[in-house]
Amino acid sequence: MSDDRKGETGKIGAAFCLMTALLLALVVLNVCLGSFALSPVAVWRSLLSRGGGSTNDRIIWLIRMPRLIAGIVLGGGLAVSGLLLQTFFNNPIAGPYVLGISSGAKLAVALVMIALFDASRSAGSALLIIAAFAGAMVSMGFVLLMARRVSRMSMLIVAGVMVGYICSAVTDFLITFADDANIVNLHNWSRGSFSGISWDDIGVMALVVLPASLAVFLLSKPVSAYQLGEDYARNMGVNIILFRLVLILLSSLLSACVTAFAGPISFVGIAVPHLVKSALRTAKPLIVTPACFLGGAIFCLGCDLIARTVFAPTELSISSVTALFGAPVVIYIMLSRRRRSGP
């Protein structure tokens, strides 16, 4: 029996090592590849100068590095947020994007941006996060209201997608009629992109995403109890009301933060937790939460690499790429679930 356990721990350890290696490889690729390619050694030398030297040095230090770190932090946060929502709704295809939470955050951020552009000031990143969080909470509130009324989970998802469409439509209106030179930026952002992120932004997002993700990890025990359903969790001594509240706040905060900086990014929140669970053959939060963070970072870095390089110099929106890889996973989940529960 203990041999068994050792074998399992070993396998999971190996999986973590593999994921870390993959992440490191993607980090190197992301720094080196782009509109001009550099060897890792050249990049290393350039990094040591901290953007002080040539144009290349500045591109690497001021553009590629922040973008790379944003991909890691935001991708990780997004996957963890998805994991929380799936636990909360007991539904494998719940996620911040399909439930309309990202779109709600997007709408609120667009409103704030436009209001501030008109007053010819630029919005601070903390303010954007607050706006996104407010928007996310409004959408989340709506979804929760719906969840009380509809018993079927698929209907909840449909309601969430509709909320998402409404928010996106209103955002598009706002962008179309707003007159500002920065509108191009806003437009890019609203489609989802890791570009244009500064070191200051990195500081703020790390301050939000990392503690929030750590908090989720520390909640592993009640999350594991909640996976058996509310009634059993309560019998195990979980304070259900408090726990649900914390779960909602954390998942909204995470997806709001991502949206504030990178716009709505689709499917990462669903695809990554699913892939991670199937790969590790477990759903234990203690293992899956950190694995999801790593997996989200890998997924987003990989997708961003594709978005930046495949049609260079034209850049794809990150959401198109994540959808390309994430949506098939969702379809697979739905089909396999039907097969299992079918006659």
Partner 1 sequence: MRGDFYFRTDRLTVGYDGRPLIRDIEIGLDRGQILTLIGPNGSGKTTILRSMAKYIKPLHGTVYLDRRSLEEMTNRDISHKLAVVLTERLKTELMSCGDVVATGRYPYTGPMGILSERDRQRTREAMELVDILELKDRDFTRISDGQRQRVLLARAICQEPEIILLDEPTSFLDIRYQLELLDILRNMARTRNIGIIMSMHELDLAQKISDMVLCVKGERIAHYGPPEEIFRKDLIRSLYGMTEGSYNPLFGSVEMGKPRGVPEIFVIAGGGTGIEVFRGLQKRGRPFVAGILHENDIDYHLAMELAGEVIGERGFSPIREETLERALLRLSSCSTLINCLQGYGEVNAMNRLLAEEAAARGMRIITGLKDLP
Work out whether 218 is an interface residue with partner 1 (CB under 8 A): yes
> Cβ-count burial of 153 within 10 angstroms (0-12 exposed, 13-18 middle, 19+ buried)?
middle
Please identify, using beta-carbon distances, which residue of 204 and 272 lies nearer to partner 1. Answer: 272
- Interacting positions 83-142 with partner 1 (CB under 8 A): 90, 92
Please name the residue that has the structure tokens 């997004």. 78
Among positions 220-239, residues that touch partner 1 (CB under 8 A) are 220-221, 224-225, 227-229, 231-232, 234-239
Beta-carbon neighbour count of residue 293 at 10 Å? 28
Single out the segment in contact with partner 1 by CB under 8 A; choices: 60-68, 164-172, 248-256, 277-285.
277-285
**Which residue's CB is nearer to partner 1, number 20 or number 90?**
90
Site for partner 1 in 29-48 (CB under 8 A): none
277 makes contact with partner 1 (CB under 8 A)? yes
Q: Residue 283, interface with partner 1 (CB under 8 A)?
A: yes
Considering the complex, state which of residue 13 and residue 203 has its C-beta at the smaller distance from partner 1.
13
Q: How far apart are CA 274 and CA 268, in angstroms?
A: 10
Structure tokens, 66: 């922040």
DSSP state of 270: H
Cα-Cα-Cα-Cα torsion 226, 163, 268, 186, nearest 10 degrees, comes to: -140
3-state SS assignment for residue 134: helix
Residue 84 makes CB contacts below 8 A (sequence gap 6+) with: 216, 223, 247, 250, 251, 254
| 147: contact with partner 1 by CB under 8 A | no
The single residue listed with the structure tokens 């040095």 is: 57
Number of residues that bind partner 1 (CB under 8 A): 27
Report the nearest approach of partner 1 to the CB of residue 65 (Å). 34
Site string for partner 1, 72-91 (x = CB under 8 A): ------------------x-
Instruction: Kindly state the tokens that stand for 200.
Output: 């200051």
> 3-class SS at 153?
helix
Kind and range of the H or E element at 291?
helix 285-309
Nearer to partner 1, 4 or 179 (CB): 4
Minimum CB separation from partner 1 for residue 23, in Å? 24
Binding of partner 1 by 20 (CB under 8 A): no
Binding site for partner 1 (CB under 8 A): 1, 90, 92, 218, 220-221, 224-225, 227-229, 231-232, 234-240, 277, 281-284, 286, 340
